[in-house]
Amino acid sequence: MGWLSDETGLEKTPANHVPLTPLSNLTRAARIWPERLAVVYGPHRKTYGEYKERVTRLASALSGLGVEPGEVVATMIPNLPAQVEAHFGVPACGAVLNAINVRLDADTVAYILDHGGAKVVLVDPQFLPTLAEAIDRMQGPAPVVIEVPDDHGGVHASGHYMTYEDLLARGNPAFDWIMPQDEWESIALNYTSGTTGRPKGVVYHHRGAHLNAMGQILSWRMVLYPRYLTIVPLFHCNAWCHPWMIPLLGGTMVCLRDIAAGPMFDAFADEGVTHFGGAPIVLNMLVNAPEAEKRRFDQIVEVFTAGAPPAPATLAAIEPMGFNVTQVYGLTETYGPATECTWDDDLWGDLQGDDRAAIKARQGVAMPAYEHVTVLDSDNMDQVPMDGATQGEIMFRGNGVMKGYYKNPEATAEAFRGGYFHSGDLAMQHPDGYMQIQDRAKDIIISGGENISSVEVEGVLMGHPDVLLCAVVAKPDEKWGEVPCAFVELKDGRNGDAEALISFARNKLAGFKTPKSVVFGELPKTSTGKIQKFELRARARQP
């Protein structure tokens, strides 16, 4: 099918077939924009020519340490230039990058180092105590430790290990990058959050990383020379493939060690940042920042937000401040964002307030790297009716789906059952094909036989002027089986009134959906800003 009757001499050759890889993006950028600013962090301001040389030195030095193609190099670094450089330098020596969540405990880090078999680990001194404890707990051989001090951030070298700059000094700036011979070769190994059981190792291929990076340019409506702020952790789905994307446009990566409103506003005003991605908690942080931290800026900042859908109140507050928010959705297994709520100004341009936010909070449609993303019945794999009411599971098929789970063929087979990747997220599909998450399967609350979407209840509670953040989980109940319980983090200076908050929700929700109890206090969060509902569910089960 699709072949001419005689294709003699029309074979693949090095002239007409090159494996797709995001590594090509940096070599191209350095060739055509050698003097354009590529990476910024305080006094660290490197052009594309300098960026590529540092990446090349890193690849050469790692090879000099004995790292062979296909072996793993791990990192435990915040959103700093060395972490950006590792996204190219590690695969440029043929190795696989394992960017480890810096907030994990020593036992989990030990498991990841053992399971992935890291040969070398690059580590910020802040996380050396955790890494040292993890290495003590490892079952297999310990990796070589390279220390990556951050003098600008006040995090200095311990003096016990070779430093990153010393490692680069060993590297050959003329080193030939080891490019993939097959685009199915692995480029990154990322571990899931592991809130239940051990985390699974998600393997990315060069093809998927390249196509995800290319596709998001279209989805974000990007033009040349964006200035991107590193808010999504570089250890979280490789910052949604954005380090591999920005060189395609000659853009600038503006690094930020700690995520706080003041430094973000400084980046918008001083560095001219035009794009960033992050969880809704980051938007909320900007909206509720003290006036003394807020600064004026002239550009419109384009935002990809993912995680839980942003509350209508948050969207209504942040857009007049100079931000345009696009809701995206994905998982570690899909390289980060895989769907987008593509805005149609002809249809929705006149919408305001809650009506506008309701459209923007939908998870939307497939991004370009995906052949098909839809809502199916997980039992029989049939398409659910697109009626905005029937519930099913979001499923993915296409080049933006992982290779599978490392050393776990059973979990891989189950995840790909029926020819699609099963997300575990429950959603409905509107008549226009746009998907809208109702909950993770484990987060649905079933009260007296009625299904309650925690996302829906949270969206209502976030509209209360006293509420900074909230999460709704199931609380066991003798009569109804389980009922909604709201955990609420208040804005500064506000006093919690549970009855008033329940009454507020009752005016907007059906009675059975209204929280039956409210708990005030700071919410537990992951390093990416997601609220840890598994911990709240455990609290709600306590008498």
Cα–Cα–Cα angle for 16, 17, 21, rounded to 5 degrees: 135
Same domain as 424, residue 496: no
Among 439, 469, 501, the domain-final residue is 439
Domain harbouring 461, CATH code: 3.30.300.30
- At residue 254, φ and ψ (nearest 5 deg) are -100, 110
Same domain as 486, residue 383: no
Alpha-carbon span 385 to 375, nearest angstrom:
9
Same domain as 140, residue 51: yes
Residues 6+ apart with CB under 8 A from 174: 56
- What is the number of structural domains in the chain? 3
Instruction: Look at residue 39 in the predicted model and tell me its pLDDT.
Output: 98
DSSP labels for 488-500?
EEEPTTPPP-HHH
Instruction: Look at residue 335 in the predicted model and tell me its pLDDT.
Output: 97
Domain harbouring 272, CATH code: 3.40.50.12780
Instruction: Look at residue 314 in the predicted model and tell me its pLDDT.
Output: 82
Whether residue 360 lies inside any domain: the answer is: yes
Same domain as 96, residue 60: yes
Q: How far is CA 241 from CA 21, 120, 135, 139, in A?
A: 12, 22, 29, 32
Whether residue 5 lies inside any domain: the answer is: no
Instruction: Look at residue 280 in the predicted model and tell me its pLDDT.
Output: 82
Whether residue 524 lies inside any domain: the answer is: yes
Same domain as 348, residue 199: no
Tell which phi-psi region holds residue 462, choosing left (phi > 0), alpha (psi between -120 and 50) or beta: alpha
Which residues form the domain of 189? 45-206
Same domain as 448, residue 383: no
Same domain as 53, residue 196: yes
Instruction: Look at residue 197 in the predicted model and tell me its pLDDT.
Output: 67
Whether residue 72 lies inside any domain: the answer is: yes
Whether residue 9 lies inside any domain: the answer is: no
Instruction: Look at residue 132 in the predicted model and tell me its pLDDT.
Output: 97
Instruction: Give the pTM.
Output: 0.86
Same domain as 475, residue 430: no
Same domain as 472, residue 434: no
Cα–Cα–Cα angle for 233, 23, 245, rounded to 5 degrees: 45
What are the average pLDDT values for consecutive 10-residue runs of the chain, which has 543 residues?
92 96 98 98 98 98 98 98 98 98 90 98 97 97 98 96 98 98 98 75 98 96 97 95 98 96 97 94 91 96 84 83 93 95 89 82 92 96 95 96 98 97 93 86 73 82 90 85 90 88 88 89 78 87 82
Same domain as 527, residue 386: no
Same domain as 319, residue 170: no
Alpha-carbon span 299 to 304, nearest angstrom:
16
| Six token digits for residue 349 | 């341009």
Whether residue 218 lies inside any domain: the answer is: no
Same domain as 289, residue 160: no
Instruction: Look at residue 243 in the predicted model and tell me its pLDDT.
Output: 98
Instruction: Look at residue 495 in the predicted model and tell me its pLDDT.
Output: 85
